[in-house]
Amino acid sequence: MTQTVDTTSHSTVGQSTRRQDGFDKVTGRTRYAGDLSIGGLLHARLVLSPYAHARIAAIDISAATQVPGVKAVYTSETLGVADPASNARTHAPLAYKEVLWAGQPVAIVLAESEAAAEDGAGAVDVEYEELPVVMDPVAAMQPGGPLARTLVKETSSEIAGGGAHAAVSESDVAEVEQEQLSENVSDKAHIHGGDIEAGWREAEVVIERTYTTSIVHQSYIEPHTITAQPGAGGQQLTVWASSQGMMGVRSSVAETLDIAERQVRVESVPIGGAFGGKFGLLEPLAAAAAYRSRRAVRLALTRTDDLLAGNPAPQSSFTLKLGAKCDGTLVAMQSKIVFDTGAYAGAGVFLAGLILGSTYRCPNYDFRCYEVMTNKAGVGAYRAPCAPQATFALESAVDELCQKLAMDPVAFRLKNGLKEGDSTIDHRKWPRIAIMECLEEVQKHPLWTDRAAQKTAPEELKGWKIGVGLSVGGWPGGTEPAAAACRLEKDGSISVVVGTVDLTGSDTSMSLIAAQVLGMPVDAVQTAHDNTDTMPYSGGTGGSKTTYAMGAAVLAAAQDARSQILAIAAEMLEASPNDLDIERDKVVVRGAPGKDVTLKKIAEASMRFAGKYAPIYGRGRSALSTTSPMYAAHVARVAVDPETGEVRVLDYLATQDVGFAINPAEVEGQIIGGVTQGLGWALYEGYAYDENGQLLTSTLMDYALPHSPEVPNITPVLVEIPSPLGPFGAKGVGEPPVVPVGAAIANAVFDAVGARVAELPITPERLFKAMH
């Protein structure tokens, strides 16, 4: 590597600056003139590799440092991270000696304006030596072929998002066997039970097919955006991150820079969408640049940057074989599952095997799971990671099996669907789950009961074929310890303090839980966020566990605050706490009209000089060790143009077990949003590469997303089978709605035209080919 120049000024470190009030659009917070700068905010731009696989022979930054406004240029060797050669993407955010995909960051340019940073990035000259490109994950498994990495270090795989989604360990469900495989295989698992050969001998009807899905981006509105500010005199580093996990960001930044976690403070900021793609990716890079330059740094990806250098959902392949008796009893399931994990281990392929075996009872099953590295962007979590892929394969195969058995699709699922007390694939017992109840709601709905009468196309689609399809899917749920606080304010309102990030209305649910416990109106309860220095512990916001886990902590904190309020009120009113209730803004004595004290008066008595009472500060903690699995049953009605293969979804039904709907309108919104994203999986979205590893869908002109007119009427039906552990019986909601969609639409397409498409998305070209 050649020179690195840092022209940032250190002259203002430790000096005082004049403070002026202002509102910072980057952080969404009121700040002072000196807050974001020791010399002013610098804008960062990334230098991305144009090659999918190559050695870095040299990097010449001399021309970039001469660009007006450019203050610093860093490479992997000069950024100052603890281990620039690490296999962990967050710990080595810039390519070290070898680029692994087209779009991998190679250098970072800091400048006084975005335009100058862009010009500086264009002036960095990198000399590459091209290497063989590995694109096909199935071919990449074979020994002796080219490697996706030539500088091989030991790799390890865990579910993207730091395990923040599903509470399952690979060691609980799988064993690893010795096979002759390429070093590209970064993880493998063998999940099996019963006697698969005996199952095939018992089976009277057998179907087998290979199903594939594409790489899919989370498509959040706001791309990755991070601002990092070093403290004066080497003090604390502050990060404002568009992230789902503040504690996780703190840990990854501290580990990358090899500093104590207490030296990193992460501030809570609103997020413009995440869906699993923002559990921590580029925060250590921005933080390292700020730490190295001693200047505040803002890194905001463009949409193309995000598509190239983000962490999308993995491509998958399922070769799936099902066997059943003639009466519809499922007796054998076998699958080879291959997930393309891109340049980094972390697709969590064993979770796909777990989900594949978590809908139907089957005494004999055998799933071999492989995670394979290729020269594509490293993957991450996306709403119910691994579940849309596994469910598309399973439910498409089940529909084909029902066709061969001449059996009603609902009847087959009612006969074989898992119930409470059945054995799980990891050798436990299923708790109360609601596959049957969701299917029963489907049986009542006219979209299913009147499907034969709905075969006539609308007048504007005359000549199109109509089909109705069914699919079932679920999510195992997640758990994580959490803590919360409830504080009575001087005006008599309540502040709920949490460490989660507000996504899709989770703050409103926390406020509703506290208000219900306290007996107060919800508009008197506000959910607030603090930074990682002082907030109660919380894991990442995702995996349909926020209300389930954090809600339990909020409930406990509200109960503690209520007890403290009633204890003070009892002394003031000379009554037993057992005779008191909170009614809106006051504490009343049951059976004694007019005998009451306001919450404001209680607050004033506990927050003043020489006050008699301790302040009201309720504390709550939760550490749920058991999940509450969630299931859904979907029905899609589609129209297919037999001349072009175009598919339009006309109507959609989504029944889902939510446990207890704390905020019904928001729960329905979650379901509608999840189904809409599922439409993208089913019909539109997917990365496309050429043979050299160049991404062909690097803009929204090429990467197709469903538009508003393409989203049909979606009818959510809430099934409430309460969880014994969730607050008021609530379960998670966000993950399941996306899971069954791909298969529901594929099955509806088959019902319409008799052609089975086993690859998502179902584009007109693929369907036309299948029809002809």
Strands (DSSP E) contained in 4-89 are: 22-24, 29-31, 42-48, 54-60, 70-75
Whether the CB-CB separation of 227 and 27 falls below 8 Å is answered with yes
Using CA atoms, how far apart are residues 732 and 504, in angstroms rounded to an integer? 12
Using CA atoms, how far apart are residues 711 and 650, in angstroms rounded to an integer? 8
Whether the CB-CB separation of 247 and 534 falls below 8 Å is answered with no
Using CA atoms, how far apart are residues 289 and 108, in angstroms rounded to an integer? 8
Residue partners of 608: CB distance under 8 A and separation at least 6: none
Closest CA to 128 of 143, 159, 107: 107
Closest CA to 339 of 140, 100, 567: 140
Whether the CB-CB separation of 126 and 58 falls below 8 Å is answered with yes
CB atoms within 10 A of CB 717: 17
Using CA atoms, how far apart are residues 627 and 539, in angstroms rounded to an integer? 15
Q: Outline where 457-550 has alpha helix (H).
A: 506-518
Report residue 309 as tokens. 């250098």
Catalytic residue (one of 267, 441, 685, 735):
735
Query: Across-strand partners of 23?
Result: 30
Indicate the Cα dihedral angle 691, 695, 696, 699, nearest 10°.
Answer: 180
Using CA atoms, how far apart are residues 475 and 466, in angstroms rounded to an integer? 30
CB atoms within 10 A of CB 520: 23
What value does the CA radius of gyration of the chain take, rounded to a whole number of Å? 28
Single-letter amino acid, residue 218: Q
Report residue 179 as tokens. 């096979």
Residue partners of 578: CB distance under 8 A and separation at least 6: none
Closest CA to 151 of 377, 380, 379, 373: 373
Closest CA to 418 of 440, 402, 394, 435: 435
Using CA atoms, how far apart are residues 524 and 547, in angstroms rounded to an integer? 20
DSSP 3-state of 417: strand
How would you classify residue 264: left for phi > 0, otherwise alpha for psi between -120 and 50, otherwise beta?
beta
Using CA atoms, how far apart are residues 368 and 356, in angstroms rounded to an integer? 11
DSSP 3-state of 526: strand
DSSP 3-state of 391: helix
Closest CA to 329 of 437, 425, 414, 209: 414
The answer to whether residue 170 is catalytic is no
Q: Outline where 607-682 has alpha helix (H).
A: 664-679
Using CA atoms, how far apart are residues 740 and 385, in angstroms rounded to an integer? 13
Closest CA to 404 of 122, 587, 203: 203
> DSSP of 199-250, one letter per residue?
HHHH-SEEEEEEEEE--B----SSPPEEEEEPPGGG--EEEEE--S-HHHHH
> DSSP of 82-132, one letter per residue?
S-TT-SSTTTS-S--SEE-STT-EEEEEEESSHHHHHHHHHH-EEEEEE--
Which positions are annotated as active-site residues?
735
